[in-house]
Chains A and B, each alone.
Chain A
Amino acid sequence: MHITRDFSHYVRSAGEGVQHIDLAVEGVHCAGCMAKIERGLSAIPDVTLARVNLTDRRVALEWKAGTLDPGRFIDRLEELGYKAYPFETESAEAAEVAESRFLLRCLGVAAFATMNVMMLSIPVWSGNVSDMLPEQRDFFHWLSALIALPAAAYAGQPFFRSAWRALSAKTTNMDVPISIGVILALGMSVVETINHAEHAYFDAAIMLLTFLLVGRFLDQNMRRRTRAVAGNLAALKAETAAKFVGPDEISQVPVAAINAGDIVLLRPGERCAVDGTVIEGRSEIDQSLITGETLYVTAEQGTPVYAGSMNISGTLRVRVSAASEATLLAEITRLLDNALQARSRYMRLADRASRLYAPVVHATALLTILGWVIAGASWHDAIVTGVAVLIITCPCALGLAIPTVQTVASGAMFKAGVLLNAGDAIERLAEADHVIFDKTGTLTLPDLEVINAADIPADVFDLAGRLALSSHHPVAAAVAQAAGAKSPIVGAVEESGQGVRASVDGVELRLGRPSFCGAGALVGGATVDPEASIVAFSKGSEKFILSVRQGLRPDARAAIAALKARNMGIEILSGDREPAVKAAANALGIPEWRAGVTPADKIARIEELKQRGAKVLMVGDGMNDAPSLAAAHISMSPISAAHLSQATADLVFLGRPLAPVVAAIDASRKALHLMRQNLWLAIGYNVLAVPVAISGVVTPLIAAAAMSGSSILVMLNSLRARSASREIV
């Protein structure tokens, strides 16, 4: 059978006979990797560009059209030790990138204007107390206006647009008081300049925009980064399928290019990427990602298979059905939509702060104006004082209070092996006080391990490992890995659904089902672990039994103990059978567990906890967990999780240990603490500055000093989130 790989879906033309592809690469994390990949790929003839993006973990490649097959790049990267997948930029991510650049451009313009207006303001401030001529002052004010007005019109766009959208929808947000403050300050300054007055606030208005744009850019940059992570995760899931393009010809194509009615080949050890029905072949399939059930299911002609199932022993031909028709997936998707809707009602800390902020500030400014008029001041002076109140209360520090902490904290979490998938994840995770774990793939490792390796002579185990290399069966892969086998035995033959056999020095070796190895009698005698899969190994007349199962994550006990020490409620909800769940719960010291739970039951349990006022953190990996991940207050998935759950989870953690879960909770709690502290700092600043503004003695110098002082204080305080500890004790 002839197999080709088809990447044309991902290749695009970069003009003038040059083609371009983006690859997401796993395991790039340092300068060494970067240089190695770029040199390795540039060495291929006709490659015109190979550039690694370390931030997004991607490689951009360009080459002369028609000369190279993109599959070659992936093979080359594999040789260099990196797994790469073709990558397609989602439109959502492209939009985030464009927005990020726009904000940076605005920030550049605003910063330029601030510096130059400040250069003109300082002579005015010092001239006001010495011997500056009024004509010179007016000249400087007009120059400031010339710089500040166009710059504010350009750099203020993000705020003006958002404020206009909010007002059109008859609501209000943080940008409404910002826009009003900036426009009034600039307008008043122009009027004052025309009237040859002493004070103009061009510097304060444009500086305010600069500080706010810093906060806005950091916020947007974090969102862009989480989106890039999500995009890479989608690509790393390698959603391709082997599609029949002729009676005997197969092409490896992306799932997006597969339609209902197509026939795909599912080989042993492959994960099914589509929903469909088996039309030919016989095999066992592992549906644990979908149902949580770890026992294999037999698949034969007519058996439905779902995306996410792992094919274990035989080769299957599957006719693709329309994905949305599959009852199980449709059910899960429906639950997911409902849960996501409920969650979007969560209100971020920044929104809550701004909802309080706007009315208070505007009322204060209005009262100031009225107060001064009643006290006998002229309308002109009263309005100038009122605008000064608006300028001084403009939420400069408030706008920085949360994004700076989030940026620093997400960097610290990234170092601890946690990726953020949602912008407001930190706030919600910090509030969690009850953790629900799924068992399979979450508390246990996603891959299998041999539990009785110590009972078997080392040389025999080594031989079994080498023989196992010749099989596609996942259990065999686990045996090979446990034995650290490197070189396969020459001439080994795999018998589909039975095992592998080979002969070495005239002795026949067999690895596979106990009956295949003639070891059926041994199995009956051994005390069998309910969760384990049994394989037998025979060497001539010697017979051995290997018991293979999913092991607990290495530090699961310590992580659970650490969570208990943090006063969090812990329980296990698993779709797996009772003995398996019970064993894991006992080993970890978790008294509360339920087995055989359906996705709907999991949601019901979460709702019940919500009613009692608990904030639930759901940690799960299966497709059956996706709805409950969405229903929980906050959710986490391991990187090995099913695509759907990973896309739903707010955070994704990397690697084998469970420690990142604890580290993430600690980092987010610290971050929330700092966010609150920053908000209090900002409020404290206002409490000090507002009376000064109301009394009417504020000069542009005081406004500028107070504004930059409070912003810098808040930024420095945010940097304390860096020191998030990685210890779990």
Chain B
Amino acid sequence: MEILVILVPLALMLGGAGLVAFLWSLRSGQYDDLDGAAWRAIADDEPPQEAPAKR
């Protein structure tokens, strides 16, 4: 049962990491435009930038 000493804090730490990640994503505005985000995922990439002129 000594394994609990490792497993319980480990589980809590993983959960805590999830919570921190959620709070970070909330703060960085990732939930502000849910409709747009749904479309951005499948939008085409930007066309490649024209190669800079050689110097």
A interface residues with partner B (beta carbon < 8 Å): 30-31, 34-35, 39, 52-56, 101, 104-105, 108-109, 112, 115-116, 119-120, 136, 139, 143, 147
Contacts and interface: CB of A to CB of B under 8 A. Distances in A.
A419 to B, nearest CB: 14
B36 A105 contact: no
Which 9 A/B pairs are nearest by Cβ-Cβ distance?
Answer: A54-B36, A31-B39, A112-B19, A53-B33, A54-B35, A108-B22, A55-B35, A116-B15, A55-B33
A119 B11 contact: yes
Contacts of A112: 15-16, 18-19, 22
B26 A55 contact: no
A55 B36 CA distance: 7
B23 interface: yes
Contacts of A53: 32-33, 36
Interface string B1-42: 100100010011001101100110010000111111001101
A105 B12 CA distance: 19
A579 to B, nearest CB: 47
B46 interface: yes
B14 to A, nearest CB: 9
A31 B23 contact: no
A108 B23 contact: yes
B43 interface: yes
Contact of A31 (B8, B15, B34, B43): B43
Given A31-B40, A104-B26, A109 B11 contact: no
Nearest to A33: B39
Given A31-B43, A35-B43, A119-B11, A52 B23 contact: no
A39 B11 CA distance: 44
A105 B33 contact: no
B50 interface: no
Contact of B40 (A34, A104, A109, A147): A34
A522 B31 CA distance: 65
A136 B1 contact: yes
B39 A109 contact: no
A54 B19 contact: no
A147 B36 contact: no
A54 B39 CA distance: 9
Given A35-B43, A119-B11, A143-B8, A108 B36 contact: no
A415 to B, nearest CB: 12
B23 A147 contact: no
Contacts of B32: 53, 55
Contacts of A109: 19
B12 A147 contact: yes
A105 B23 contact: yes
Question: Would you call the interface of chain A mostly helix, strand, loop, or mixed?
Answer: helix
Interface of B: 1, 4, 8, 11-12, 15-16, 18-19, 22-23, 26, 31-36, 39-40, 42-44, 46
Contact of A116 (B4, B11, B23): B11
20 contacts: A30-B39, A31-B40, A31-B42, A34-B39, A34-B43, A35-B43, A52-B33, A52-B36, A53-B32, A53-B36, A54-B36, A55-B33, A55-B36, A108-B23, A109-B19, A112-B18, A119-B15, A136-B1, A136-B4, A143-B8
Contacts of A55: 32-36
Contacts of A39: 46
A103 to B, nearest CB: 11
Nearest to B44: A35
Given A35-B44, A112-B19, 5 more contacts: A31-B42, A34-B39, A55-B34, A108-B23, A136-B4
A115 B17 CA distance: 13
A218 B43 CA distance: 28
A104 B27 CA distance: 11
A409 B9 CA distance: 43
Contacts of B22: 108, 112
A120 B15 CA distance: 13
Contacts of A119: 11, 15
Nearest to A29: B35
A147 B18 CA distance: 15
A725 to B, nearest CB: 23
B29 to A, nearest CB: 9
Nearest to B12: A116
Contacts of B18: 112
Nearest to A120: B8
Nearest to B42: A31
A119 B8 CA distance: 10
A534 B24 CA distance: 64
A143 B1 CA distance: 16
The listed residue with most A CB atoms (<10 A of its CB), out of B11, B12, B34, B44, is B12
Contacts of B46: 39
A116 B11 CA distance: 8
Contacts of B15: 112, 115-116, 119
A143 B8 CA distance: 9
The listed residue with most A CB atoms (<10 A of its CB), out of B23, B33, B44, B46, is B33
B42 to A, nearest CB: 7
A63 B43 CA distance: 25
A39 B44 CA distance: 12
Contacts of B40: 31, 34
Given A115-B15, A116-B11, A147-B12, A104 B31 contact: yes
The listed residue with most B CB atoms (<10 A of its CB), out of A31, A35, A115, A120, is A31
Contacts of A139: 4
Contacts of A104: 26, 31
Nearest to A140: B8
B2 to A, nearest CB: 12
Nearest to A123: B4
A56 B36 CA distance: 10
Contacts of B43: 31, 34-35
Contacts of B39: 30-31, 34, 54
A101 B26 contact: yes
B25 to A, nearest CB: 9
A267 B19 CA distance: 58
Contacts of A31: 39-40, 42-43
B20 to A, nearest CB: 9
Contacts of A147: 12
Given A31-B39, A31-B43, A53-B36, A108 B19 contact: yes
A108 B33 CA distance: 18
B53 to A, nearest CB: 16
A54 B33 CA distance: 6
Given A39-B46, A108-B19, A56 B33 contact: yes
The listed residue with most B CB atoms (<10 A of its CB), out of A39, A54, A139, is A54
A136 B1 CA distance: 9
The listed residue with most A CB atoms (<10 A of its CB), out of B36, B42, B46, is B36
Contacts of A115: 15
Contacts of A120: 8
B4 to A, nearest CB: 8
A105 B16 CA distance: 14
